[in-house]
Structure 1
Amino acid sequence: MKLLDTEGCVTPEESRTHIRIPFELGENCERLNLRFQYAPKKLENRERAIALLKESYDLYILPEHREYAAEHTDRHLPLNNLITVSLDDARGYRGACHRHDPLQELFLSRQEASPGLMAGELTAGSWSVTLSLHCIVTEICDYRLQIWASEKEESA
Structure 2
Amino acid sequence: MNALKLLDTQGRVTPEDSRTHIRIPFELNTSCSRLNFRFEYAPKVLEDREQAVKLLQDSYEIYILPEQREQANARAERHLPLKNLITLSLDDAQGYRGACHRHDPLQELFVSQHEASPGLMAGEVAAGSWNVTLSLHCIVTDICDYRLQIWTPEEADA
- TM more than 0.5: yes
User: What displacement does 1:61 show?
Assistant: 1.4
Matched, 1:61 2:81: no
Structure 2 distance, partners of 1:128, 1:149, is: 15
Cα-Cα RMSD:
0.8
CA distance in structure 1 between the aligned counterparts of 2:52 and 2:77, rounded to whole angstroms? 10
Shift of 1:152: 3.5
Q: Distance in 2 between matches of 1:25 and 1:64?
A: 55
CA contact (8 A) 1:110 1:120 kept: yes
8 Å Cα contact 1:30/1:151 also seen in 2: no
Moved more, 70-79 or 146-155: 146-155
Tell me the residue number matched to 1:106.
Answer: 109
Q: Quick one: which of 3, 6, 16 aligns to 1:3?
A: 6
1:37-116 paired onto structure 2 within 5 Å? 37-116=40-119
CA distance in 1, matches of 2:5, 2:154: 11
Tell me the amino acid that sits aligned with residue 127 of structure 1: W
For 1:26 and 1:111, locate their aligned partners in 2 and report how far apart those are by CA, in whole Å: 21
Work out the CA distance in 2 between the residues paired with 1:4 and 1:132.
18
| Alpha-carbon shift at residue 153 of structure 1 (Å) | 3.0
Deviation of 1:62 (Å): 1.8
Question: 1:145: which partner in 2?
Answer: 148
Trace 1:16-35 onto structure 2 (pairs within 5 A).
Answer: 16-35=19-38
User: Which letter does structure 1 place at the counterpart of 2:9?
Assistant: T
| TM-score (structure 2 length as normaliser) | 0.96
SS at match of 1:29: coil
The answer to whether the 8 Å contact 1:36/1:103 transfers is: yes
Whichever residue aligns with residue 107 of structure 2, its letter is Q
Structure 1 residue 72: deviation in Å? 1.1
The whole-number CA distance in structure 2 between the counterparts of 1:81 and 1:62 is 25
Q: For residue 123 of structure 1, what is the aligned residue in structure 2?
A: 126
Aligned counterparts of 1:116 and 1:63: Cα–Cα separation in 2: 39
Structure 1 stretches of 4+ moved >6 Å: none
In 1, the alpha carbon distance for the partners of 2:142 and 2:51 equals 10
Long gaps (5+) in structure 2: none
Letter in 2 for 1:32: L
Deviation at 1:60, TM superposition (A): 1.2
Query: How many corresponding residue pairs?
Result: 155
Q: Secondary structure at the match of 2:38?
A: strand
Contact 1:29 1:152 in 2 (8 A): yes
1:13 aligned onto 2:26: no
In the superposition, the TM-score normalised over structure 1's length comes to 0.97
Gaps of 5+ in 1: none
